[in-house]
A and B are shown apart, each in its own frame.
Chain A
């Protein structure tokens, strides 16, 4: 019963904050908040959040005070070796001074939050209600943006922060854009990053979206990411989760045109008592497209992972090819995995498949390496690396791939020692 009262507290805290900040004067926010209040926070009984106790993770230190724009964060550094166009959110608030664009073709505008709800997910609704502003990034048609666009979430406060960064990116027809998303935070700062992004991919456009999640150890992250694809476009989405107390990814790809090629790759390395939850939706609404999904995970310690991959093939989406694979390695007795690869198909002329495995490192492979004189940990590290690096195929840009690979290796090594 205690949990029930706590949950009510969290709900009432949110409702209070909403009124105090005067957000209810805005029609769009009010609509989102009303729907959110009607739905309530997800519990273990909500099918979509069965294994993901976000409410419990937040209960301990949640405050809904309005985030303040910080001074220059000391640690806003480049994670990447190449120059990037920067879009920076500090404690969830867009910072124009730090957002520096290298390519003059990219345009950033800020506007009041709209009234159209992107999703009925409770956290997406919360973001709609609380986000400070709608940041819109526009790439004109027929432009290849050479430098990646880095969207950075910075957290620099020792006290709890409830952050609701929100951005929309429109990529014109025939353009190409690489988006890098990542978090910079002090290793122990507590915050709830409730992010929402919406990317509209024009016809014949190429999107590379690489999300690297390595925030603080106390991070609670809900990453709502919606990608809408037009005909003949291509998308490569990579989601790598390396750190965080509780991470929930809602990645939705709407295949809303023909001749689309969509790739989703993901890797989650979960240790300690963390939980990483990946929910992906690939919604084939039009014929003649293909999607390919590969998610892999390594769980250690008390780590827990959830994977739910939905593939919808609507009645019109004939000649769809959709593939999905989820592979997991459990390293410790206490770690566990809940996976649910889900296919819902209403068209007959399709080829769809999904596969999912859960197991351990191959004893024979381990033995082979050790018989050649490698220490157990080194051998294990090599095998895990090989296992994890398959997902990197989802990053087309070589230099980004190399850097992500380095980060994964750094993370894997402490796991095996």
Chain B
């Protein structure tokens, strides 16, 4: 037992490794939220009139809404007037090449291991990096352009491809969808836009990297992915933030629009600052992610590894509108110390013969609370639909909690829906078995946890799987006995 305590202590005392702050001059809006701030952001980004109107509409709707209280998380009330809604690293005009970008900024991304300088061309990932509120650089643009793929920052897309943005912005997550989506719609500062033309298979992984740098800012980015008929893209998202005593708000929106026969794979490794071991500080991660399988045979797959954030409130969902469309959700959520996660998915079956699969693995340690909340809704018209859900929870330590809230609504008689969930700790017999074969306790635990999460980790693209495994190993090695 003494050994266990030691191990748990070692694990819980581990500090966040991305906790540095870059000394960048920032161009920021004053604190607070009002129509003027919305106008300020829109003006600063030289946006067209219609987008400003869209933002204002979202803002006005937001003022009539109340913050949702149903997630199984507790936190002190957020003062929305105490947040800086826009902060951009200061730049001289717009950079024409990477040489003109603030070297401090480049250093920031080097620390994160992101290949902005294209030196690591061999790693073969196109990156759009978003610092605080602004997209700072996008790589591999030309190469992608040859195939007709548009991959750029959101502001650039508004300038260069206004028709596409106008058509698809808010088509999956309307500006008035929920409290945080409305807030995001009003004040979103930048993000990534990606369009894959019909029949194109994107040759490399596309990636966005988010980092909150400045103090007291909120980050509100928006990602929009449009996959035209028969196209394929794999998209990665990663994020980090400095260590700070106060909580910072991150309310992002991700929209995926998949047309006939298109396939989109969206992977996230979320590693926001989780707060220190006493639960001070950390990011509030309130994110709306939704994909629409608009055409027949479309497929959207969400994979997420959630290790950071003080509070996570996130339900990547699939609306299966096209016949024979497929939705998938694979998730590993790890909570430690005082972290709280309420995460899961929604699979809305509307088309005929639609299929969905949910695999959710929760791991809670320390004094954390980890909830799975998911909905599977099979509409009357969605005949012959199929769903399989599995959500398992692993408890490490006796002061954490694991909760499951699955909602299953079936409205026709030809569909099959299955759900199963288990909660347990690592079996002593499993550890004993490994030890018997000469594997020490720590390695045994690592082995078992890895095996437990494997089904999800296998879904990640290679480059990300390595990072995710490292993160898991860092957080969990030897944390149980």
Residues facing B in A298-348 (CB within 8 A) are: 315, 318, 328, 330-333, 335-348
Contact A358 B416 (CB under 8 A): yes
| A119 interface residue per 8 A CB criterion | no
Q: Could you say which residues of chain A place their CB within 8 Å of the CB of B416?
A: 357-360
| B417 interface residue per 8 A CB criterion | yes
Closest partner residue, chain B, to A331 (CB atom): B413
Contact B403 A348 (CB under 8 A): no
| A6 interface residue per 8 A CB criterion | no
Rounded to whole angstroms, the CA-CA distance of A359 and B417 in the bound complex is 7
Rounded to whole angstroms, the CA-CA distance of A359 and B414 in the bound complex is 7
Q: Please give the distance in Å from B254's CB to the nearest CB on chain A.
A: 27
Contact B403 A345 (CB under 8 A): yes
Interface of B is mostly: strand
Contact A357 B417 (CB under 8 A): yes
Rounded to whole angstroms, the CA-CA distance of A347 and B327 in the bound complex is 33
| B300 interface residue per 8 A CB criterion | no
Q: Please give the distance in Å from B367's CB to the nearest CB on chain A.
A: 11
Contact B396 A348 (CB under 8 A): yes
Q: Please give the distance in Å from A359's CB to the nearest CB on chain B.
A: 4
| A336 and B409 contact, Cβ closer than 8 Å, known pairs A349-B425, A354-B404 | yes
Interface string of A26-49 (1 = CB under 8 A from B): 000000000000000000000100
| A179 interface residue per 8 A CB criterion | no
Closest partner residue, chain B, to A341 (CB atom): B406
| A344 and B401 contact, Cβ closer than 8 Å, known pairs A350-B423, A353-B423, A355-B420 | yes
Contact A315 B398 (CB under 8 A): yes
Q: Could you say which residues of chain A place their CB within 8 Å of the CB of B70?
A: 47
Q: Could you say which residues of chain B place their CB within 8 Å of the CB of A336?
A: 380, 409-412
Q: Could you say which residues of chain B place their CB within 8 Å of the CB of A358?
A: 408, 410, 415-418
| A352 interface residue per 8 A CB criterion | yes
Interface string of A357-368 (1 = CB under 8 A from B): 111100000000
Q: Could you say which residues of chain B place their CB within 8 Å of the CB of A349?
A: 398, 425
Closest partner residue, chain A, to B364 (CB atom): A348
| A333 and B404 contact, Cβ closer than 8 Å, known pairs A345-B423, A357-B418 | no
| A356 interface residue per 8 A CB criterion | yes
Contact A333 B424 (CB under 8 A): no
| A351 interface residue per 8 A CB criterion | yes
Q: Please give the distance in Å from B212's CB to the nearest CB on chain A.
A: 32
Closest partner residue, chain B, to A310 (CB atom): B405
Closest partner residue, chain A, to B390 (CB atom): A355
| A348 and B410 contact, Cβ closer than 8 Å, known pairs A340-B405, A342-B404, A353-B420 | no
Q: Please give the distance in Å from B158's CB to the nearest CB on chain A.
A: 38
Contact B417 A348 (CB under 8 A): no
> Which of B412, B413, B418 lies at the interface centre, i.e. has the most chain A CB atoms within 10 A of its CB?
B413
Contact B398 A335 (CB under 8 A): no
Interface size class of A (residues with CB under 8 A): 20 to 34
| B393 interface residue per 8 A CB criterion | yes
Contact B401 A356 (CB under 8 A): no
Contact A340 B398 (CB under 8 A): no
Q: Could you say which residues of chain B place their CB within 8 Å of the CB of A345?
A: 393, 395, 401-403, 423
Rounded to whole angstroms, the CA-CA distance of A358 and B395 in the bound complex is 29
Closest partner residue, chain B, to A354 (CB atom): B421
For A341, give its contact among B393, B399, B410, B421 (CB under 8 Å).
B421
| B419 interface residue per 8 A CB criterion | yes
Q: Could you say which residues of chain B place their CB within 8 Å of the CB of A338?
A: 407-410
Rounded to whole angstroms, the CA-CA distance of A335 and B418 in the bound complex is 18
Contact B410 A337 (CB under 8 A): yes
| A348 and B412 contact, Cβ closer than 8 Å, known pairs A340-B406, A354-B404 | no
Closest partner residue, chain A, to B386 (CB atom): A359
Q: Please give the distance in Å from B62's CB to the nearest CB on chain A.
A: 20
Rounded to whole angstroms, the CA-CA distance of A339 and B406 in the bound complex is 8
Rounded to whole angstroms, the CA-CA distance of A338 and B414 in the bound complex is 15
| B344 interface residue per 8 A CB criterion | no
| A355 and B413 contact, Cβ closer than 8 Å, known pairs A342-B404, A345-B395, A345-B402 | no
Q: Could you say which residues of chain A place their CB within 8 Å of the CB of B421?
A: 341, 343, 353-355
Q: Could you say which residues of chain B place their CB within 8 Å of the CB of A343?
A: 393, 402-404, 421, 423
Closest partner residue, chain B, to A308 (CB atom): B407
Contact B423 A356 (CB under 8 A): no
| B89 interface residue per 8 A CB criterion | no
Q: Please give the distance in Å from A360's CB to the nearest CB on chain B.
A: 6
Rounded to whole angstroms, the CA-CA distance of A349 and B427 in the bound complex is 9
Contact B425 A348 (CB under 8 A): yes
Contact B395 A318 (CB under 8 A): no
Q: Could you say which residues of chain A place their CB within 8 Å of the CB of B74?
A: none
Interface string of B363-382 (1 = CB under 8 A from A): 00000000000000000100
Rounded to whole angstroms, the CA-CA distance of A345 and B408 in the bound complex is 20
Q: Could you say which residues of chain B place their CB within 8 Å of the CB of A351?
A: 422-424
Contact B418 A356 (CB under 8 A): yes
Q: Please give the distance in Å from A288's CB to the nearest CB on chain B.
A: 15
Closest partner residue, chain B, to A339 (CB atom): B408
Closest partner residue, chain A, to B72 (CB atom): A344
Q: Could you say which residues of chain A place their CB within 8 Å of the CB of B400?
A: 346, 348
Rounded to whole angstroms, the CA-CA distance of A354 and B403 in the bound complex is 12
Rounded to whole angstroms, the CA-CA distance of A350 and B364 in the bound complex is 14
Rounded to whole angstroms, the CA-CA distance of A342 and B407 in the bound complex is 9
Rounded to whole angstroms, the CA-CA distance of A341 and B375 in the bound complex is 11
| A332 and B409 contact, Cβ closer than 8 Å, known pairs A341-B421, A347-B398 | no
Q: Could you say which residues of chain B place their CB within 8 Å of the CB of A359?
A: 415-418
Rounded to whole angstroms, the CA-CA distance of A358 and B419 in the bound complex is 9
Rounded to whole angstroms, the CA-CA distance of A346 and B422 in the bound complex is 14
Closest partner residue, chain A, to B411 (CB atom): A336
Q: Could you say which residues of chain B place their CB within 8 Å of the CB of A352?
A: 422-424
Q: Could you say which residues of chain A place their CB within 8 Å of the CB of B404?
A: 341-344, 354
Closest partner residue, chain A, to B396 (CB atom): A348
Q: Please give the distance in Å from B430's CB to the nearest CB on chain A.
A: 13
The 9 nearest A-B residue pairs measured at CB: A348-B395, A330-B413, A353-B422, A359-B416, A336-B411, A355-B420, A343-B404, A352-B423, A358-B417
Residues of B within 8 A of A (CB): 70, 380, 393, 395-425
A–B complex contacts, Cβ < 8 Å, 9 sampled: A328-B410, A336-B380, A343-B402, A345-B402, A351-B422, A352-B423, A353-B422, A356-B417, A356-B420
Q: A337-B408, A340-B407, A348-B396 are in contact. List 8 more A-B contacts (CB 8 A).
A: A315-B399, A336-B410, A338-B407, A343-B423, A344-B401, A346-B401, A350-B395, A357-B417
